[in-house]
Amino acid sequence: MAYVLLTLVVLTLAVADKAHCIRVPDRISEPARDPPSGQPLKTAVFALGCFWRSEAVFGCFNGVVRTTVGYAGGSKLNPEYRSLGDHAESVQVEYDPRLINFRKLLEVFWSSHDSRQVFGQGPDVGIQYRSIIFTNGTEESRLAAISKEREQTKSKISLVTTQIQQLGTFYPAEPEHQKFELKRNPFLLQLIGNLPEEELERSSLAAKLNGYAAVLCPPTIQKQIDAKINDIMRKGWPILREV
């Protein structure tokens, strides 16, 4: 009897395994992107309007390892999307300083929103959409101030409203706001193997495709990703591991 039972269990496992084998993998593990120890990632936080868009804008760039949307710049403890108090919708950018630097991130910041619109971006109006460069130390404050002056000299018709302030607490937003643009695109989600939420939030590839999905990457990057996707579609293998 025990033998029969054992055979049944083995057979069941074999069938289950087979079923698993023919399924498109649910998840893939990404190659580790963190720099070797001694070369820690750096973090920058910016507010430039609706954070769905802000995250997409920064995710496009090589050297950006992770993006997270959240709330910063206010005093309310534990803000949430429906009650964020005096915080601004923000994006936290974790980057490898060997590949991209704060200066370049500042350029992306200025070119990706209208810093002269008072407390809003387009139809999104309110203090949660204000423009802020959060800094971590005097060198970043100096670079931010120089870049703001440069931006102001481009036109004297209106004022650049961007605030520069020392970063306090960054509160990550709810999961449904993370990689929002990518999540609206089931095709791309499938293409990277339907990563579980936790991996999606930490993935460099997801950060990049989030920008691609929103068509907010620079044209060269959009084209490069297009080419990679077309190649995979031609081959018929649906997992995209890197772009």
Active site residues: 50
Radius of gyration of the chain (CA): 22
Minimum Å gap between C-beta 10 and ligand MHO is 52
30/124 with CB nearer ligand MHO: 124
Sheet holding 88-95, edge to edge: 163-166, 131-135, 42-48, 88-95, 64-72, 171-172
Q: Which residues contact 92 (CB under 8 A, 6 or more apart)?
A: 43, 44, 45, 67, 68, 69, 70, 170, 172
By beta carbon distance, the residue nearest ligand MHO is 50
Minimum Å gap between C-beta 211 and ligand MHO is 16
Amino acid at 208: K
CB environment 80-109: b (16+ within 10 A), e (fewer): eeeebeebbbbbbbbbbeeebebeebbebb
Check binding of 171 to ligand MHO (CB under 6 A). no
Please pick, from the candidates 30, 124, 151, 199, the single residue that binds ligand MHO as defined by CB under 6 A.
124
CA pair distance 206, 56, nearest whole angstrom: 10
CA pair distance 89, 155, nearest whole angstrom: 26
Contact (CB, 8 A) for 195 and 28: yes
52/95 with CB nearer ligand MHO: 52
Q: Angle at which helices 219-235 and 204-213 pack, to 10 degrees?
A: 110
- Within 42-101, which residues bind ligand MHO (CB under 6 A)? 50-52, 89
Minimum Å gap between C-beta 129 and ligand MHO is 7
110/180 with CB nearer ligand MHO: 180
28/127 with CB nearer ligand MHO: 127
Stretch 203-242: interaction string toward ligand MHO, x if CB under 6 A:
----------------------------------------
Look up tokens 């999540």; give the residue. 183
Stretch 10-49: interaction string toward ligand MHO, x if CB under 6 A:
----------------------------------------
The number of residues that bind ligand MHO (CB under 6 A) is: 5
124/199 with CB nearer ligand MHO: 124
Q: Which residues bind ligand MHO (CB under 6 A)?
A: 50-52, 89, 124
